[in-house]
Amino acid sequence: MLNKKQIRNLLTYLFLYPSFLFASEPFHNIQGFYGERAAGLGGAFTAIADDPSGAYYNPAGLGFTYNDRISISASNFKDIKRSYINIDTPGQIYNQTHQGFDPNFIGLLKNFDRWKFAFSIVNTYNYTYNRVDQVNYPLISPTINSTRNYTKERYNQLLVGPSAAYLLSDKLSLGATLYYVNDTKEVSRTQFQQFSDLSYVMRSYVDNRRTSALMPVLGIQYQPAQKVSLGMSYRRTFVTGGNRLYNEVYADSTRRPGTSAIDFIEGTGDGASSIEAGVLTQKPKLTTSIPQTSELRFGIAFFPTSRFLASFDMIHTTGYKTRRNQDEFSSFGRKITYTINDTEIRELTRVSTTNFAAGMEYYLADTFSVLGGIYTNEPNTKPISWTESAVDLYLQNTFGNQVQANSGDTSVIYKLARSGTNPRNEYSRNKGLSLGFSWVTSKSSISVTYIREVGYGNSRIDPNSLAQSFEYSAHSIYLMVSSRN
C-alpha cells in the first residue's frame, strides 16, 4: 500500500511523462480505408485501384480508368474502445473511447486518353478523446480523499496532393502521387488530488505539435492476362518541418511559499527547461517530427467472371529509430548535476509490420454488388511482457535504474532507460473484416460498408505497475458516393 509521500512521487512521475497514460500516435499502421471499393475489399486494392482512391493505394491503377470521376467517401460513424484490464488491482478496468463522424476521402479524376490526372484529400486518422474522471476514497490508498482528471486529446493526419498515371500499353501503367502531409497532436490535461489531511497537489499541462512532410507514392500495374492484374506501390514519408510547444505547471500545498512552491516546465523544438523544487534544469529539446517510415504494397486481383473478382494484398511497413543527445544539466545553488540519458527518441520508434488483406466482390445484379474482406493489422510497437515489467520494477525499486558519481558539489548520473517509461506502451495484434453493398449505374454509385476490428495483447500505461491485458474493439460504417462523366 502506498503512503502519501509515495503517492505524491508517483503523481509527479506520471505527469513528467504524461504520454504513458494516454495514447501517443497510432500503434498500428492501418488506420482506415479510403474510396468506393477499397473498404469493402478489406483494403486489398493495390492490383485494382481503378477509381480516384487509387491515388492512395496505387496511382498506376488510375491508368486503367476510362471516365472522369468525382468520389467522396465518409465514415459517418466510428466507435473505438481500448480496454486496459487489471490496472493496479484485479478487476479494475480503464476504458478509453472515441466516437466520431469524419469525412476521410475526397477525390477527383480527369481522363486525357493515355494520361490520367487526379487530386485527392485523405484524412488518414482523426481521433479525439475527452474524459473526466473522479475517484473518491480509493481502496488502493486510504491517504487519498479524491482524485479528479480532466483530459482532452486529438490526433489528426491529413494528406493532400495531385496524382498522374500514364498507360504505356493496354497491359502496363505507371503512376505517381505527391502528398503534402499535415500531422497534428493536441493534448491537455489537469489533475487535482486531495489527501486525508486536506493537503493537495495539482498539475496542468498542454502539449501541441504540428509536423509537415511530403509523401511520394510510386506505383506500377500490369495485366499479364485478361483475368489477372498485378500491382505494386511504394511510399515514403519525408519530414520537412514542424513545431511543438509544451507547458506545465505543478503545485503542492505542503510546500513553503516562495520560489520553490510551484514547478514550471516549458519546452519547444529548440529547447526545454524546468524549475522543479527550486532546481533549474536544462532539458533536451522536444521532437517535432513523425516517423519517416516506408511502405511497400504488393497486390494481385483475379477476375474469373464478369460478376466476380477476388483480390489479395501484402503490405510491408518498415520500422524506424532515431537517436540524439538527450542529456540534462541541473543546478541548485552551488550544486551541479549532469544526467546522461538514453539517446533513443522512443516516441518515434516503430517496429516493422507485414499485414495481409483479402477481398471479393460479386454482382448479384447488373447494378448491385456485395463486397467482403478480411485483413490483419499488426502493432508497430515492441511486445510487452509481464516478466519484463516485473524485472523493470525490481531494478527501479532496488537501484533506481541509475548509477551516480559525486565529487564535491558536482554529480554525474547515468540513467538506464526503463521499459515502463516507453511511450509506445501498447501491443495489440488486430484482425478485421468488412462487409459492403454497392449500387452502381453508368453515371453514379453509392455504397455502404461495415468494418469490424478487434485485437488482444498487453499494455503498460502505468510505469510503476505490472503490465496488464489489453483489448481493442472498433466499429466503422463507411458511406461512399461518386459520380461519372
Cross-strand bridge partners of residue 480? 73, 447
**CA–CA separation, 283 and 54 (whole Å):** 45
The CA-atom distances, in angstroms, between 241 and each of 180, 182, 289, 324, 329 are 12, 10, 7, 17, 27
Residues 6 or more apart whose Cβ sits within 8 Å of residue 11: 191, 193, 201, 203
Residue 321, number of CB atoms within 10 A of its CB: 12
Q: Do the Cβ atoms of 210 and 245 come closer than 8 Å?
A: no
C-alpha cell at 59: 496511382
Res 139: pLDDT: 64
Give the domain CATH number at 102: 2.40.160.60
User: For 192-218, b where at least 16 C-beta lie within 10 A, e where not — what string?
Assistant: bbbbeeebebbbbbebebbbebebebb
* Tens of each residue's pLDDT in the chain, 485 residues: 444 554 454 454 444 444 434 444 689 999 989 988 999 999 999 999 998 999 999 999 999 988 776 766 666 678 888 888 876 666 667 777 877 777 889 999 999 989 999 999 999 988 888 777 777 876 656 788 888 888 888 999 999 999 999 999 999 999 999 999 999 999 999 989 888 888 889 999 999 999 999 999 999 999 999 899 999 999 999 999 999 999 999 998 888 776 677 899 999 999 999 998 889 999 999 999 999 999 999 999 999 999 999 999 999 999 999 999 999 999 998 999 999 999 999 999 999 999 999 999 999 999 999 999 999 999 999 999 999 999 998 888 888 888 899 999 999 999 988 888 898 999 999 999 999 999 988 888 899 999 999 999 999 887 878 899 999 999 999 988 888 77
The dihedral built from the CA positions of residue 388, 389, 395 and 396, taken in this order, carries a sign that is positive
Q: pTM for the complete prediction?
A: 0.90
Give residue for cell 503542492: 252
The CA-atom distances, in angstroms, between 199 and each of 138, 248, 263, 372 are 16, 20, 17, 58
Could you give the 3-state DSSP secondary structure of residue 62?
A: helix
**CA–CA separation, 248 and 402 (whole Å):** 25
Res 151: pLDDT: 86
**CA–CA separation, 203 and 191 (whole Å):** 5
**CA–CA separation, 152 and 165 (whole Å):** 42
**CA–CA separation, 145 and 142 (whole Å):** 7
**CA–CA separation, 107 and 119 (whole Å):** 6
Q: For the chain, what is the radius of gyration of the CA atoms?
A: 26
Q: Do the Cβ atoms of 136 and 146 come closer than 8 Å?
A: yes
**CA–CA separation, 411 and 154 (whole Å):** 40
Q: Do the Cβ atoms of 320 and 350 come closer than 8 Å?
A: yes
Calculate the dihedral angle through the C-alpha atoms of 124, 130, 136, 139, rounding to the nearest 10 degrees: 0
Boundaries of domain holding 215: 4-484
Give residue for cell 472515441: 98
**CA–CA separation, 61 and 230 (whole Å):** 10
Domain count, the chain: 1
C-alpha cell at 112: 486525357
The CA-atom distances, in angstroms, between 52 and each of 70, 75, 119, 177, 280 are 7, 17, 8, 11, 55
Residues 6 or more apart whose Cβ sits within 8 Å of residue 80: 97, 98, 99, 127, 472, 473, 474
Could you give the 3-state DSSP secondary structure of residue 425?
A: coil
Res 256: pLDDT: 79
- Please state whether beta strands 238-252 and 144-167 pair in parallel, antiparallel, or not at all (unpaired): unpaired
